[in-house]
């Protein structure tokens, strides 16, 4: 499978890194990018960087559109003009398939940056899910993690808020933990960071052992204890509503971006 990435920003770099870790040959990846810093990062991974005209000079199984939302439609028009027979996988947030020049040639995706570690979650949607291109898209993104096929395109807005933005919400919370740990270590930031890495890693280990969070919580807390007091404080402050409001805000913005474009 030969793939061209049009745009070499953060999400494209994450997908490419995950593909390479999954032993996808760098010779099968071409990237179109003009920013020199990003070009240097791509070349360090042995990825060829070419101009957009390469789409008419070479044959690709899939073209991944990874540009800014404000540029997406214009770039898609150029891409479809140069490679009219190749499906476009768009990872651009907020722009519905119907807004592209040829919706039948568009497969909409919403990956996340965990793809770089082959632990990504990617939502996929197309008007026709029975095409060879859609099958190729599924196979490609299974290399960098898990996939979820959306039956309804509107569900991508919800997916974006939970998975696409969700990592950042968790990072925001974890940053509070790290700051408190640094303060406790009284300036020894390196030791705090190393301890924090093990702390975060242990969360995944615990979840692999037990998939029910209520059971995990009950294994830590005891009646009348310190954990119980903290949990009650979180509940009193309606932590669940705070997180769900963040999801709602992200979903609303995803829908606004769609309307703007």
Determine the longest span between alpha carbons in the chain, in angstroms: 70
Residue 42: per-residue pLDDT: 93
pLDDT digits (tens, 9 = 90+) for 9-29: 999 999 999 999 999 999 999
pLDDT at residue 168 tops 80: yes
- What does the pLDDT average to over 228-243? 94
Q: Over 70: is that where the pLDDT of 77 sits?
A: yes
Which residues make beta-bridge pairs with 4? 30, 63
Residue 241: pLDDT band with limits 50, 70, 90 = very high
Tens of pLDDT, residue by residue over 175-222, are 999 998 888 888 678 888 999 999 999 999 999 999 999 999 999 999
In this prediction, what percent of the chain has a pLDDT beyond 70?
99
Crossing angle of helices 189-209 and 213-220, rounded to 10°:
120
Sequence-distant (≥ 6) Cβ neighbours of residue 170 within 8 angstroms: none
Residue 139 is predicted with a pLDDT of 96
3-state SS, residue 60? coil
> Which domains occur in the chain, in start order?
3-157 (3.40.50.720), 166-258 (1.10.3730.10)
Which of 29, 7, 35, 208 lies closest to 92, judged by CA?
A: 7
Residues near 84 by Cβ (< 8 Å), separated by ≥ 6? none
**pLDDT band per the 50, 70, 90 thresholds, residue 261:** low
């Amino acid at each position: 499978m030969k793939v061209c990435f049009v745009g070499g920003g953060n999400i494209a770099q994450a997908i490419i890194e995950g593909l390479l870790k999954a032993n996808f040959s760098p010779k099968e990846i071409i990237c179109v990018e003009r920013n020199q810093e990003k070009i240097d990062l791509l070349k360090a991974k042995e990825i060829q960087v070419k101009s957009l005209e390469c789409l008419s000079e070479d044959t690709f199984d899939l073209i991944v559109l990874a540009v800014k939302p404000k540029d997406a439609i214009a770039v898609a028009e150029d891409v479809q003009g140069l490679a009219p027979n190749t499906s476009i996988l768009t990872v651009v947030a907020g722009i519905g398939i119907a807004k592209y020049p040829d919706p039948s040639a568009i497969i909409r995706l919403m990956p996340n940056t965990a793809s770089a570690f082959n632990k990504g979650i990617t939502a996929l949607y197309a008007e026709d899910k029975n095409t060879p291109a859609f099958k190729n898209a599924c196979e490609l993104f299974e290399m960098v993690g898990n996939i979820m096929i959306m039956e309804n395109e509107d569900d991508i807005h919800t997916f974006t808020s939970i998975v696409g933005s969700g990592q950042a919400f968790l990072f925001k919370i974890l940053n509070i933990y790290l700051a408190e740990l640094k303060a406790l270590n009284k300036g020894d930031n390196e030791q705090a960071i190393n301890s924090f890495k093990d702390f975060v890693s242990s969360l995944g280990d615990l979840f692999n052992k037990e998939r029910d969070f209520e059971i995990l919580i009950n294994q830590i807390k005891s009646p009348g204890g310190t954990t119980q007091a903290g949990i009650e404080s979180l509940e009193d402050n309606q932590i669940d509503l705070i997180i769900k409001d963040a999801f709602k805000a992200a979903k609303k913005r995803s829908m606004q971006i769609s309307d703007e474009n």
